[in-house]
Amino acid sequence: MAGAARPLDARLGGLGDWLLRHQRSVRRVQWGVIAAYVLLVAVPAFRPLPTGAAHVWSDLTLAAQFVFWGIWWPFVLLSMVIVGRAWCGFFCPEGALSEFASRQGQNRAVPRWVVWGGWPFVAFVATTVYGQMVSVYQYPKPVLLILGGSTLAAIAVGYLYGRNKRVWCRYLCPVNGVFALLAKLAPLHFRVDPESWRESQRCRESVPAITCAPLVPIRIMRGASRCHMCGRCSGFRGAVALAVRSPSHEIVAVAGGEADPWQTALILFGLMGVACGAFGWVASPWFVAVKQALAVRLVDHGVLWPLEQSAPWWLLTNYPSRNDVLTVLDGIVLVGYVLAMTAAMGGALSACLALATAVSGRWSWARFHHLAQTLVPLAGCGVFLGLSGLTVTLLRSEGLPMGWAGFARMALLAGASLWSLWLAWRVAGLAAAGWRRLAVTACVGMAVALGAAGWGLVFWG
């Protein structure tokens, strides 16, 4: 295997060097993506909503919705698992604009509030819940409001802080935490050889300085979660090269040394809690039952305004011409449902992982966080399926047969669950053996079953 890997690593190393030599071409591609991004995000917001007779191929708004939410975002997530954060390094419009603004900006020191580790979790939860309140997947104005606002914030942060850096991407981007988790599964990464680095320093080799835009400490980089795969450091000191690795390597061998509670919160309460509630509330019988019960109570007490009062479209969905209006009561129950699902799912998953940690032989928060990382495949698969649900809906509305979609979802959920169980078995083996290893894996297996059941409720409940 090692002999077979060397030629592949040599070819990949050459690809990394090619990226280094063609950074100008990468910039041109980025500006092309920015132009497409503006077309998809901004233009539909100023057009009338499509009629019932419109089709994806005949209406710009529907076409933009399909391309952006049906293809762009689901497959950006998928790309993280295949090629790491290459999207961030080569194509992301926010990252490119933020770095461009940084190049021309004020170069201020990054303030302490920006580097707070909880922003990826908070930003993901806030944008996900708010996006559901304003129906961001269905209407173009909320898309412009949320993504346009995010892009302007990225430019402002880039202009204010750092020089030739992506401070926004490193600390504040709402999907930075999700991308960082999924990239841990990628078989491609830029590998750093510490011995070659030290040898280069001992020889006092004169090497040109490099700037890592996402602020990754390259010398001690052991994984792909923060690397944007841009290739600018390829060949540096003869120690950095694009290479292949096992998709299990980073979670099993690297993630245990991080013990980041915010990443754990993002996995358990974000990707498997908030996302599950956000994608599932529309068809949930619990949502309907709670809303009806509250409505009856309000009517009994003569309080009717929450059932009748709506809000502007930028607070709650409000499109009377489409018979799509959320009342104040709808908005309250929506947020309450998502938060309740988050607490229930996150709490149950945490209990399973706590039990797994306890039966491993000795309680350790680091071990708890490490076991949480084994759920990344299932968590990422659920979000991918949730986003691709719009793809299926749009294709079905165009008359395409989509009966296979349910089987594909089952297969993907089953595959991701097995992957998570395999990772749990590998991680459990680092601290336990024999029956303890089996017990730890079984406890994580309960968490996997709960997570898969949550997504099962979204699609089949």
Q: Output the pLDDT for position 2.
A: 44
Share of the chain above pLDDT 90, in %: 83
Question: What are 361's two structure tokens?
Answer: 């032989």
Determine the length of the chain: 461
Average pLDDT over residues 192-206: 89
Going by pLDDT thresholds of 50, 70 and 90, the confidence category of residue 1 is very low
Distance CA 48, CA 73 (A): 24
Specify whether 175 is located in the same domain as 267: no
Cβ 131 vs Cβ 142: under 8 Å? yes
Cβ 266 vs Cβ 178: under 8 Å? yes
In degrees and rounded to multiples of 5, residue 316 shows phi and psi of -140, 150
Specify whether 278 is located in the same domain as 159: no
Q: What angle do CA 270, 275, 277 make, to 5 degrees?
A: 115
Distance CA 376, CA 373 (A): 6
The answer to whether position 428 is within a domain reads: yes
Domain count across the chain: 2
Specify whether 271 is located in the same domain as 377: yes
Q: Output the pLDDT for position 11.
A: 87
End-of-domain residue from the set 145, 166, 183: 183
The answer to whether position 280 is within a domain reads: yes
223-229-231-237 Cα dihedral, nearest 10 degrees: -10
The answer to whether position 73 is within a domain reads: yes
Cβ 164 vs Cβ 212: under 8 Å? no
The answer to whether position 204 is within a domain reads: no
Cβ 309 vs Cβ 328: under 8 Å? yes
Of 95, 82, 73, the closest CA to residue 29 belongs to 95
| Residue 81: C-alpha distances to residues 74, 282, 340, 407 (Å) | 12, 29, 30, 22
Question: What are 285's two structure tokens?
Answer: 């019988």
Q: What angle do CA 262, 263, 267 make, to 5 degrees?
A: 115
The answer to whether position 225 is within a domain reads: no
Distance CA 101, CA 155 (A): 6
Specify whether 389 is located in the same domain as 283: yes
Tens digits of per-residue pLDDT, 208-236? 888 899 999 999 999 999 999 999 999 99
Distance CA 70, CA 142 (A): 16
Question: What are 378's two structure tokens?
Answer: 């299932």
Cβ 140 vs Cβ 66: under 8 Å? no
Q: What angle do CA 110, 111, 115 make, to 5 degrees?
A: 80
Of 255, 249, 217, the closest CA to residue 233 belongs to 217
Share of the chain above pLDDT 70, in %: 99
Specify whether 179 is located in the same domain as 269: no
Specify whether 443 is located in the same domain as 308: yes
Specify whether 282 is located in the same domain as 174: no
Tens digits of per-residue pLDDT, 76-106? 999 999 999 999 999 999 999 999 999 999 9
Question: What are 358's two structure tokens?
Answer: 């306890």
DSSP 224: S
| Residue 107: C-alpha distances to residues 103, 160, 163, 217 (Å) | 8, 6, 5, 19
The answer to whether position 87 is within a domain reads: yes
Distance CA 188, CA 385 (A): 23
Contacts of 422 (CB under 8 A, 6+ apart): 248
The answer to whether position 218 is within a domain reads: no
Which pTM was predicted?
0.94
Tens digits of per-residue pLDDT, 403-438? 899 999 999 999 999 999 999 999 999 988 899 999
Cβ 131 vs Cβ 121: under 8 Å? no
308-314-318-324 Cα dihedral, nearest 10 degrees: -120
Average pLDDT over residues 141-162: 96
End-of-domain residue from the set 134, 157, 183: 183
End-of-domain residue from the set 183, 200, 234: 183
Specify whether 178 is located in the same domain as 274: no
Question: What are 274's two structure tokens?
Answer: 């908030």
Amino acid, res. 64 = A
Specify whether 278 is located in the same domain as 171: no
Specify whether 275 is located in the same domain as 164: no
Specify whether 58 is located in the same domain as 161: yes
Domain span holding position 298: 261-460
Average pLDDT over residues 155-181: 96
Distance CA 137, CA 131 (A): 8
Cβ 192 vs Cβ 240: under 8 Å? yes
Contacts of 388 (CB under 8 A, 6+ apart): 70, 74
188-192 vs 240-244, strand pairing mode: antiparallel
pLDDT over threshold 70, residue 334: yes
Distance CA 399, CA 315 (A): 33
Question: 254-273 as b/e, with b when 16 or more CB fall inside 10 Å?
Answer: bbbebbbebbbbbbbbbbbb
Q: Output the pLDDT for position 397.
A: 85
The answer to whether position 419 is within a domain reads: yes
Specify whether 172 is located in the same domain as 311: no
Q: Output the pLDDT for position 3.
A: 47
pLDDT over threshold 90, residue 149: yes
Instruction: Please report which helix (H) or strand (E) contains residue 380, including its range.
Output: helix 376-397
pLDDT over threshold 80, residue 461: no
Q: What angle do CA 361, 364, 368 make, to 5 degrees?
A: 100
Q: Output the pLDDT for position 327.
A: 96
- Residue 60's Cβ-count burial label (10 Å; 0-12, 13-18, 19+) is middle
Tens digits of per-residue pLDDT, 362-407? 889 999 999 999 999 999 999 999 999 888 988 888 888 888 999 9
